[in-house]
Structure formats: C-alpha cells, structure tokens
Amino acid sequence: MSNQSDKNDVVKEIASYIEKGTLVPFLGAGASRLSPSSLPTSSELKEGFLKAVCLEGSFLVEQFRILFSHDSEDWFRSLRLEVFVEELERELGPRALRILDVYENSEPNLYHKFLAMLAQQPHGLKAIITTNFDMLVEDALCRQKVAYQTRVTKDDFQKFKKVTQSHDAKVTQILKLHGSIDDQQSLMISVRQVGNQRAFTGAKKEVFQDCLKSYDLLFLGYSGGDDFDILPILKSIPSQKKIFWIKHEADEHEIRAIPFANLKRHEIPHEIYSILVNRKSDKGIVIFCNAAKLIEALWEKLELPEENLNNGLEIARGAQTEGKQDNVDKVSVMLRSQLSGIGISSLEKKYLILIRLIARTGHYDKAIEFYRKLLEIQSEAPLAMELKCGLARAYKNNGQRDKAIEVFGEVKGWAKKNQRVRLASQALRGLGFSYRDKYIYEGSNHLYLKKAEEYLRKAVDLLKESKYEFETAWAYRDLGWPIKDLGKVKEAIKAFRKSVRNFEDLIGKCEDEQDGFDLKRQLAWSYRDLAWGYMDKARDSIAKGKANKAARAYQVASGYFDKSIELFKDIGDIENLGVSKRDSAWVPREQGDIHRCIKLDEEAQEWFRLIGDKENCKLTLQELSSHLRRFADLYEQQISPVYSEVAFKDIQIVEGG
C-alpha cells in the first residue's frame, strides 16, 4: 500500500466515524504542547522546576547539567510526576502545587479548535476524554459557543454513568480523568491524590469502559505513560470498536497508517505496543505522522469552514511543537519568580529539595554528595548538625553503617552538650537503627541488637519528659523492633502500643490538615508494627504448643494489619497500603490458608501497579514465590493450573530463571 493510499484511506475512515457521530477523541499531554498553547509535558515540568531551583551556585548548575545531559542515566528523569509532586508536598506542604500555575492562562491550539469545530457540526461530539487538567478544551468550546458539561469529580461521573445513556446530544461531555486545574481537590498529580481519588474505580471507570466498548476512539498526544490507571483498562476491555492511535513525529512529512496486527515492537513505545497487540483485534490503526498534518487533512476532508478556524490551517501547515528545551526554559523562567512563594527561598532549601528527590530514587550516594557540598556552604551549628544528621541517614541507607554511626555519634555529642533534646533524640534513634542494620546485614550478632536497644531506650528516656510528643511516639515504635528481635515480645508489644496511643492522642488534638495527614501515616505505621509484634507472639505460642493462644494472637495481628491498611487507604498512601497488604499475607500463610495468602499478595500487587512501583512489584512476586514454596505439598490441589502457570512465569522473571 502506497503512502498516498495510506493517507487517503485513514483520513477517509476517520472522517466517516466523525460524520456518523461515533468518534470520541482522547487527548493526552502532547495535545496541549502545540503552539500557541505550548504547555509542558510532565517531564518538562519536572526538568523546568529543577532548572529554576538549580540556577544558583556553580555546584547546582553543574549538577543540573550532569543530571539532564544526553548521556546521563535515566534514573532521575524517570521519577514519576506523581512521586515527584508527592516529595515536594512532604517538604513544602500545599504550596508545592503552585508549580501547576504554569498550566494557567494559555491559548487553545489547532487541536482544541478542531474539536470545537467538530462539536459545532450537526453530528456533534458526544464526548472528549482527556488526562489533561488544563482548561484549553473548555476555552475552545466556549469560543465556538458550543454547549458542554465537564465531568471531573467522582460525583460528576456518578451522576453521568454512561455516555450512551439518554443525555442531550447537543451537549458535549468533557471527561477529565485526572482532574481539572480549576478544582485542585480533583487533581491526580501526586501519589496521595491518586490514592484519595481512588484512580479508576466506581463511576469514572464505568464511564471510561462504556466509551471503549461503545465508541471509536482517536488518541491524540497520548504517550501511554499512565500505567497506574489508563493502561490496565485499555488492556483489559475487549471492544469491536475502532481505535486510531496517532504516533506524533514532528519531522514526518507523510501520513503512514499501520494496522495493529502488523506492528513491529521497535516501531512504538513498549507500553502502547502491549496495549494494542494484547487487544488481539484488527479494529485499530497506528498513524505515524505529524499530528498537525493529519488534522489539516481531516479539516479539508470534512470541508469545515476555514474562516471559523482563525487562521488555524496556516498554523497547521507550518506549526511544529516547541522544542523540548524551549518548554523546559519557559517553565524555568515562569517558576523562578515564584520559588519564594512556593517556599524555596534559601540556598539550603534548594539543596534539601534536591536531596529529597534524589533519595527517593534510591541514589543515596548522590544524596551524600549533595549533603557534603551543602555542609561546605553551611558549616555553622546548629544547622550544620541538623544537616549532618541527614547525611548520617543517607550513609545508613547507602549501606555505609560504620560511617553513619560515626556521624550520628558526632551529632549526639554536640546536641547533648548544647541541650538540643530533639536533635539528640534523632541522633540516638539513628544510632539505634544503624546498629540494628548491622545485625541484619552484617551477621546476626546480638551485641548489635543490644547496642540498638541501648540507644533507642536513651532516646525514649530523653523524650518522654520533653514537649516533643511526636518524636516520643516515634521513638517508642523504633524501640519496639530491637526488643522484638531479642525475643522480648511482650515488652516489644508494650512499646508498640505506647506509640499507637501517643499518635492517637496527637490526632485527637490536631487541627492542622497537613499535620493530621502526617500523624495518620505515622499511626498506620505503628499499627503495622504492632501487628508484627503479635505475629511473634503467635509464633512463640506455637513453639510452646499453645495453639489457642496462637490463634488469638494471629487474629489480633490481622486486625492491626487491617487498621493499617484502612488508614493508609484513607490518606491515599498507596505504597504503604500495598506494603501492609503484602505483610498481612503472612497471617494466612502461617495459618495454612493458601488462597487467602495469595489473594492478599495479588491485591498488594494491584496497588503497586496502580502507581507504577516496579520495585515493590518485584518484592511482592518474590514473597509470592516464598509463599508458594511454603505450600509446595498443597500446590496441585489448591491452585488452579491457569494461575499456577502465570504465577511461576512471574517468579521465574523475578529470579532470572
């Protein structure tokens, strides 16, 4: 098939679905990137923000160049936007969302105007689906005087239910799957917000599924990067409707259309390839083209009035998206003047923001480098000692435990001499957990555990008579672990219970929303740790032949795991929700309930997939492997052949088998 035939056939086919009123466009971030909108993609927003932060001091400028050079590793660039914003929120609070100001006050581009023109025609547009939270579609429809209704919140979707149900055909429905900039409560731009919005559940999921089953879809400007919500639905919903997926290539002069069945893996990103091929349908086409040229061809085919486009065709013939660097620079310039308002005014704060983001990627060696450089700039106590405490934590997390103990010891000595109770307690807790890590990773020497217990008891004794209630509750929880490891289970449970009670009391007195959020997270952790205390109690009872006591202890452990899960779900902490689910699978494992054990691991895996947490997905598969081996004798009788084949394939991938 010639290129010209490709172009004529696919343009004609898309136009026919438009004229029948069965086509629903799906817009991703790339659709708002064309001039004059020129809005940044998620990667450009992250990079532009960091460039604004790094434009002070030669070290930061050089580090930015290294992190984002063409030959650099992708570890920093690949940090998901949701995780990126989550870390900013933890450091800056609600002000972190000010980075989204760059999405306001922009102009609709050719794509938005084209959709507005389609909606104005007799066939209209039933709906426009988008993951974007800008207001450019609404703006374009307003300018063309098209009636529309925006569906953003869970309640909006609940009232709507299905596009195919009896709604006014003259009103275009805008379905904003990730929220809208004019309603910050609806946004799904941080992991917490994804959790609070429950991503794709309930009515929102039903509406999207209905669109996939009932309408032909045109994907425009969508990269397929939303593996926490959109991709699983696209993979799982069978449909006999057509899907046109535009693979935008700015330098492509022709329009090439390739059926799904003929796709080669290297021709398209892995995420999109897996969606299209796994659907096992010939009802779809990938269109390789400059998207503006395809819109121009459709415009001419549909004979839309040029005068209403406001010179859009001229833009279409010559328009290219802004270069990536142009958008990064634009974001950087816009945000530079806002950093103070966001809460990033000092050089120290800029370093700490970067350290938090780097540590989130697990590159603690780089975090150590940043801490050491910052300490060259800020060498005076007490701030220098607080920074050294952070440096020691980075050493600990990087496996340099002896170095961590040395630095924590230095901080402890200074803080004790200068009566800095809070800092001294942090150093003592750091020493305690550094010694516990030595016990875990450097051989099970109980002397390390006794050292850990000694330092953590000192932290509790120092804090319990102080005004630092939050740190006291945390220290009791920390103390519970080495005590538990030393076999003093009753004492460990007592410490965990004190932590729980203290955090519950603090939540009862708390009036600040952000503080309340942090306290609930801490309480959920304490519930989980208390559950592990009761797990050890059950094991001790089994060892003593006391089956009834063991059963009661397992029941209590399960209850505290459930409390932890519910609280993490309440605050939208999906990562820890998944961890608590995975941990809770040990209760049925030890009680011999294989089905319940596997079910909990599967549920944990789904939560991790929701946020694209590949590391925890891998850990969960490893635990599933362990559970299945534990039940090896029961395997054939209790697990279906289909599940067993899938499970062991996953396990082989994890173990490299």
* 20-38 pLDDT per residue, tens: 999 999 999 899 988 888 8
**pLDDT of 4 over the 50 cut:** no
The runs of H, that is alpha helices, within 215-311 are: 230-236, 270-278, 291-301
Q: Please give the pLDDT value at position 523.
A: 97
Q: Please give the pLDDT value at position 506.
A: 95
Overall fold of domain 573-657: 1.25.40
Q: For every residue of 543-606, which 3-state class applies, written as one string?
A: HCCCHHHHHHHHHHHHHHHHHHHHHHHHHCCHHHHHHHHHHHCHHHHHHCCHHHHHHHHHHHHH
**pLDDT of 279 over the 60 cut:** no
Q: Please give the pLDDT value at position 337.
A: 79
Q: Please give the pLDDT value at position 535.
A: 98
Angstrom distance (rounded) from CA 548 to CA 623: 27
Nearest to 484 by CA among 538, 562, 442: 538
**pLDDT of 205 over the 90 cut:** no
Are the CB atoms for 227 and 611 separated by under 8 Å?
A: no
List the domain boundaries for the chain. Answer: 3-40+105-324, 573-657
Angstrom distance (rounded) from CA 164 to CA 174: 14
**pLDDT of 200 over the 60 cut:** no
Q: Please give the pLDDT value at position 419.
A: 92
| pLDDT category of residue 612 using cuts at 50, 70 and 90 | low
Place of tokens 């946004």: 187
| pLDDT category of residue 275 using cuts at 50, 70 and 90 | low
**pLDDT of 502 over the 90 cut:** yes
Q: Please give the pLDDT value at position 47.
A: 86
Q: Please give the pLDDT value at position 647.
A: 45
pLDDT above 70 covers a percentage of the chain that reads 83
pTM of the predicted model as reported, rounded to 2 decimal places: 0.80
Mean pLDDT of 360-385: 90
pLDDT above 90 covers a percentage of the chain that reads 43
Q: Please give the pLDDT value at position 166.
A: 47
What class does CATH assign to 3-40+105-324?
alpha beta
Q: For every residue of 451-472, which 3-state class applies, written as one string?
A: HHHHHHHHHHHHHCCCCCHHHH
Query: 141-169 pLDDT, tens per residue?
Result: 999 999 999 998 878 887 776 565 545 56
Q: Please give the pLDDT value at position 316.
A: 47
**455 strand-pairing partners:** none
Q: Please give the pLDDT value at position 1.
A: 44
Mean pLDDT of 611-637: 76
Which of 43-52, 302-311, 364-373, 485-494 is the least confident region? 302-311
How many Cβ atoms sit within 10 Å of the Cβ of residue 381?
Answer: 16
Are the CB atoms for 510 and 470 separated by under 8 Å?
A: no
Mean pLDDT of 587-598: 92
